[in-house]
Homo-oligomer: A and B are copies of this chain.
Amino acid sequence: MAQVKPMRADARRNRERLLRAAAGVFAEHGAGASLDDIARRAEVGTGTLYRHFPTRQALLEAVYLESVEAIAARADTIAAARPPGAALVVWLGELAVGMLQVRGLKALLGTAVTGAEAVAGRADGADRADRADRACGDCVRGAAERLVRAAQEAGAVRGDVAPIDVLRLVHGVVTACESAGETDGTAVRRYLSLLMEGLTRA
Contacts and interface: CB of A to CB of B under 8 A. Distances in A.
Interface of A: 30, 32, 85, 110, 114-117, 120-121, 156-161, 164-166, 168-169, 171-181, 191, 194-202
A27 B175 CA distance: 23
A200 B198 contact: yes
B198 A169 contact: no
Most buried by B among A159, A195, A199: A199
A179 B120 contact: no
A171 B165 contact: no
A199 B158 contact: yes
Contacts of A120: 32, 120-121
Number of identical monomers bound together in the oligomeric complex: 2
Contact of A176 (B121, B171, B196, B198): B171
A116 B122 CA distance: 21
A180 B168 contact: yes
Return the 4 tightest CB-CB contacts between A and B, nearest first: A198-B198, A172-B172, A114-B179, A168-B176
A165 to B, nearest CB: 7
A178 B120 CA distance: 14
B158 A201 contact: yes
Contact of A166 (B30, B159, B169, B199): B199
A85 B198 CA distance: 13
A190 to B, nearest CB: 8
A202 B159 contact: yes
A178 B121 contact: no
